[in-house]
Amino acid sequence: MASTALNPSFSKPSPFPSFNSLKPHCRITLPVLTNYRKPTPHRPPLHITNSLSDPKPKPATAAAATKTATASTTTTTTPETFLSRFTPDEPRKGADILVEALEREGVTNVFAYPGGASMEIHQALTRSSTIRNVLPRHEQGGIFAAEGYARASGLPGVCIATSGPGATNLVSGLADALLDSVPIVAITGQVPRRMIGTDAFQETPIVEVTRSITKHNYLVLDVEDIPRVVREAFFLASSGRPGPVLIDVPKDIQQQLAVPIWNQPIRLSGYVSRLPKPPLENHLEQIVRLISESKKPVLYVGGGCLNSSEELRRFVELTGIPVASTLMGLGAFPSSDELSLQMLGMHGTVYANYAVDKADLLLAFGVRFDDRVTGKIEAFASRAKIVHIDIDAAEIGKNKQPHVSVCADVKDAWKGMNSLLEKEGKLKFDFSDWREELKEQKMKYPLSFKTFGEAIPPQYAIQVLDELTNGSAVISTGVGQHQMWAAQWYKYNGPRQWLTSGGLGAMGFGLPAAIGAAVARPDAIVVDIDGDGSFIMNVQELATIRVENLPIKIMLLNNQHLGMVVQWEDRFYKANRAHTYLGNPSKESEIFPDMLKFAEACDIPAARVTKRGELRKAIKKMLETPGPYLLDVIVPHQEHVLPMIPSGGAFKDVITEGDGRSMY
């Protein structure tokens, strides 16, 4: 996935090659050097050591250590001013060192739930004048909120939990962040070092538990390593393809007194050496040549393009190529633009999937050819030459073999190609016939829904929300039918408006993610479009919303069922209900549970709407009410998310008609 990067520098151009005999196995691997999150005024310079480990004994003094560290670095810069609470030579607890290390990284908000092994960290947080703790009511809520913060802002989200069950409650969030390439720094307390491995109270080997679902993790065994480990964690989380990093800190390390050495070099020379470097001009010229030879090109853009929205828009302006987005890429290119094909894939628009199926050139940028996009992989873009640009070399050729591949940051690649296109004024692309063909498909197969009396179509509820917010709200969702309808019917016109659990598909994500978004972007309208099944999984976070007085609007599409599973039951299991009804079987005519009472318990205004004619007024009241608000929108459970390409199917298998009122 792409991230913010340095301006590209190009080597000398070479002549255009011919692509008439291009085969799908010639790979161009171009790395890109990525500049992680921009430094804040408090951030110290980044020093990178030349070795992975330092076999020399530690210097006896802080001054000697600083001298040694500086001597072994590849870069040195003038330290930026940071005003510490402590004098330079004053010993302080490891927990205070940890908190100050976070401050030096520019952290202003954390999502932390205390426990026995993390109490020292929380005590240190109370001594910080710059870091605010937003107290979740469950550790999973905390890490999902940290994800919402990161997704909405582009900055690393920070969450803290205690050992044992506190740490294991972070697991779903770590897996979610890894799959969706979200920068997270998760800090856990651990039992004292002498008790590790003894099955002590609330001990779990969280480093081992999370090894395969984090980008990297640490068990801190020396208090003097804290400054370096924290700096490395933020660098790793934000550089290259972003992801989660876990730091496990034993309680005795938190309590130990030490004088921190802030200028320690980071020991990531192997990682840094593997970071991609700027793309070469001749390789970008090859891609431009492919575009000039094509008749039906399509851009297939994903989450890796969120940091390069401006470059993408300029590229489309210069070429006139239509854009299809993945679920994760929504907002990178404006959904309301005439060249937008909206979302492709299992529940993508017919015209987006048609475009990919008929394309002769597929420009796959910042994507990973996920199964929910491709369906039957052999049939996906089977007529097209494929160009794949991604910052992660492991994704290139993993699922679909490209004809040309570039391991690079798409931001740099687009800057380079835009520069070439602007210089080559004589290059004129005419894809008007292709655009007209796609326009006909849009007219023939628009997104649509049916109405049944005064029942509220869930798609209509999202359409009205889009109209009343002018497509400018930050939207979070849970997982299920409501998630797909929110992807289809809300028009995302900018990046980081759309927060959803894509790869993992974690129910319960929407409400806490909205908390993180509201903290990161306090001036934005934040709406959690949720389903009753997902909402109830982290309903306790209503308490956090109330206490923090976050102006989060919750639009609950309540159908009393696990809607997406019900849809599959309808289509593939003869509508046999296998534990997908979430109401009370003995009182099917009543709404159960009563979501309004959850809101009342947390002193949050709430209302229920059951009739289509009353919906617009109800949504308008929700948006105009100061502070948080819950609107319980009762919708029929028979609705299906359409279009739908069945799992493992191809474009020819697309379903565009029907719902749970019919038998299959």
Q: Divide the 664 residues of the chain into consecutive groups of 10 and give the mean pLDDT of each group.
A: 38 38 39 37 48 37 37 38 93 98 98 98 98 98 98 98 98 98 98 97 97 98 98 98 98 98 94 92 95 97 97 97 98 97 98 98 97 97 97 96 96 96 83 97 97 97 98 98 98 97 98 98 98 98 98 98 97 96 96 98 98 98 98 97 97 95 85
d(CA 465, CA 196): 52
Residue 279 near residue 406 (C-beta atoms within 8 A)? yes
Contacts 24+ apart (CB under 8 A), 417-423: 417/284, 417/287, 417/288, 417/315, 418/311, 418/314, 418/315, 418/318, 420/281, 420/284, 420/285, 420/288, 421/288, 421/315, 421/318, 421/319, 422/318
- pLDDT computed for residue 369 by the predictor: 97
Q: What are phi and psi of 12, to 5 degrees?
A: -65, 135
User: Which amino acid does the sequence have at 503?
Assistant: G
d(CA 107, CA 132): 9
d(CA 287, CA 383): 17
Residue position matching structure tokens 């009393």: 560
251 is known as an active-site residue: yes
- pLDDT computed for residue 414 by the predictor: 96
d(CA 375, CA 655): 13
Question: Given CA atoms 127, 129, 130, 136 in this order, what sign does their dihedral have?
Answer: positive
User: Mind giving me the DSSP string for 586-638?
Assistant: GGTTS-SS-HHHHHHHTT--EEEE--HHHHHHHHHHHHHSSS-EEEEEE--TT
Angle at the Cα of 455 from the Cα atoms of 453 and 457, rounded to 5 degrees: 115
Catalytic hit among 346, 564, 595, 622: 564
Q: Helix, strand or coil for residue 370?
A: coil
3-class secondary structure per residue, 411-424: HHHHHHHHHHHHHC
The residues facing 631 across adjacent strands are 555, 607
d(CA 147, CA 522): 16
Look at residues 497, 503, 154, 488 and name the one whose alpha carbon lies nearest to residue 325: 488
Residue 339 near residue 323 (C-beta atoms within 8 A)? yes
Catalytic hit among 16, 58, 80, 201: 201
User: Which amino acid does the sequence have at 577?
Assistant: R
Catalytic hit among 82, 119, 202, 277: 202
d(CA 362, CA 359): 7
Instruction: Give me the half-sphere count of Cα atoms (radius 13 Å) on the Cβ side of residue 582.
Output: 22
Residue 287 CB contacts under 8 Å (≥ 6 apart), including other chains? 363, 387, 404, 406, 417
Tokens at residue 239, please? 């550089």
19 is known as an active-site residue: no
d(CA 177, CA 324): 23
d(CA 481, CA 654): 17
End-to-end CA distance of the chain, in Å? 40
Catalytic hit among 251, 400, 415, 553: 251
d(CA 524, CA 82): 30
Look at residues 385, 280, 287 and name the one whose alpha carbon lies nearest to residue 16: 287
Catalytic hit among 100, 103, 105, 139: 139
The single-letter DSSP state of residue 111 is E
d(CA 257, CA 261): 13
Residue 291 near residue 361 (C-beta atoms within 8 A)? yes
d(CA 165, CA 219): 17
Residue 375 near residue 392 (C-beta atoms within 8 A)? no
Residue 448 near residue 603 (C-beta atoms within 8 A)? no
Tokens at residue 577, please? 């209900």
Residue 399 CB contacts under 8 Å (≥ 6 apart), including other chains? 368, 369, 370, 371, 374, 377
- pLDDT computed for residue 45 by the predictor: 52
Is the backbone peptide bond immediately before 643 cis, with ω within 30 degrees of 0? yes
Residue 222 near residue 61 (C-beta atoms within 8 A)? no
Tokens at residue 552, please? 């989060």
d(CA 375, CA 378): 9
Q: Give me the torsion for CA of 73, 74, 77, 79, rounded to 10°.
A: -30
d(CA 275, CA 392): 9
The residues facing 406 across adjacent strands are 389
The structural domains of the chain, ordered by start, are 92-269 (3.40.50.970), 281-444 (3.40.50.1220), 458-645 (3.40.50.970)
Q: Is 585 buried (19+), middle (13-18) or exposed (0-12) by CB count in 10 A?
A: exposed
444 is known as an active-site residue: no
- pLDDT computed for residue 80 by the predictor: 61
Q: List Cα–Cα distances, 572 to 43, 294, 639, 642, 660, in angstroms.
A: 55, 40, 15, 15, 11
User: Which amino acid does the sequence have at 510?
Assistant: G
Q: What are phi and psi of 627, to 5 degrees?
A: 75, -160
The pTM score is 0.89
